[in-house]
Structure 1
Amino acid sequence: QRWLIVFVDGFDFAGHTMVGALGVTADGTKVPLGVVEGSTENATVVRGLIGNLRDRGLDASQGILFVIDGGKALAKAIKQVFGEQAVIARCRVHKERNLLDHLPETERLWVRRKLRAAWTNPNAAEAEAALRALAAQLAKVNPDAAASLREGLADTLTVTRLGITGSLLKTVMSTNPMESMIEIVRDHARNVKHWQRGDMRLRRAAAGMLAASTQFRRVKGYRQLPALAA
Structure 2
Amino acid sequence: MVATAYLLGVSTRRVEKPAESLGVTQLSKSQVSAMARHLDEQVTAFRNRPLDTGPYAFVWADALTQKVREGGRIINVHALIAVGVNADGHREILGLDVATAEDGAGWLAFLRSLIARGLTGVQLVISDAHPGLVDAIGATLPGASWQRCRTHYARNLLSQVPKSAQPWVATLLRTVFEQPDTDAVQAQMTHVLDALEAKFPKAAAHLDAAQHDLLAFTAFPREIWRQIWSKNRRSV
Q: Do they fold alike, i.e. is TM over 0.5?
A: yes
Residues 44 and 146 (structure 1 numbering): CA distance in 2 closer, same or farther, change over 3 Å? Answer: farther
Whole-angstrom distance in 2 between the partners of 1:73 and 1:151:
19
2:113 is the alignment partner of 1:113: no
CA distance in 2: counterparts of 1:136 and 1:169, whole angstroms: 24
Whether contact under 8 Å (1:5, 1:24) holds in the other structure is: yes
What is the CA-CA distance between 1:31 and the residue it aligns to?
Answer: 2.2
Residue 170 in 1 paired to residue 226 in 2?
A: yes
CA separation of 1:126/1:78 partners in 2, compared to 1, >3 Å: closer, same or farther? same
Change in Cα spacing, 1:59 to 1:161, as seen in structure 2 (3 Å) is closer
Say if 2:142 is the partner of 1:83.
Answer: yes
Show the 5 A alignment for 1:110-149: 110-139=168-197, 141-149=199-207
Offset at residue 160 of structure 1 (A): 2.1
What letter corresponds to residue 145 of structure 1 in structure 2? A
Pair 1:70 & 2:101 matched: no
Offset of residue 94 of structure 1: 0.8
Partner in structure 1 of residue 109 of structure 2: 48
The 8 Å contact of residues 59 and 82 in structure 2, kept in 1 or not, is answered as yes
Structure 1 contact 90–174 (Cα < 8 Å) conserved: yes
From the superposition, tell whether residues 135 and 73 of structure 1 become closer, same or farther in structure 2 (CA, over 3 Å).
farther
1:152 to 197, 210, 217: 210
SS in structure 1 of the partner of residue 177 of structure 2: helix
In the alignment, structure 1 segments of 5+ residues that lack a partner are 180-219, 221-230
C-alpha deviation, 1:141, in angstroms: 4.5
1:26 paired residue number: 87
Of structures 1 and 2, the one with the larger relative CO (CA 8 A, separation 6+) is 1
Contact map agreement 1:10 1:18 (CA 8 A) in 2: yes
Letter in 2 for 1:169: W
Distance 1:162 1:137, change over 3 A: same
Cα distance in structure 2, aligned partners of 1:4 and 1:156: 18
d(CA) in 2 for partners of 1:144, 1:10: 29
1:122–1:160 CA contact under 8 A, matched in 2: no
Distance 1:143 1:48 in 2: 39
Question: Matches of 1:140 and 1:43 in 2, distance apart?
Answer: 37
User: Offset at 1:98?
Assistant: 1.3
**1:29 and 1:163, CA in 2 relative to 1: closer, same or farther beyond 3 A?**
closer
Letter in structure 1 aligned against 2:77: H
Q: Is the 8 A contact 2:193 2:204 kept in 1?
A: yes
SS at match of 1:19: strand
Q: Secondary structure at the match of 1:83?
A: coil
Identity of aligned residues (%): 26
What is the CA–CA distance in structure 2 between the aligned matches of 1:132 and 1:73, rounded to whole Å? Answer: 30
Cα distance change of structure 1 residues 129 and 105 upon mapping to structure 2, 3 Å threshold: same
TM-score by length of 2: 0.63
Which residue of 2 is the match for residue 5 of structure 1? 58
**Deviation of the 1:92 alpha carbon:** 0.7
The higher radius of gyration belongs to: 2
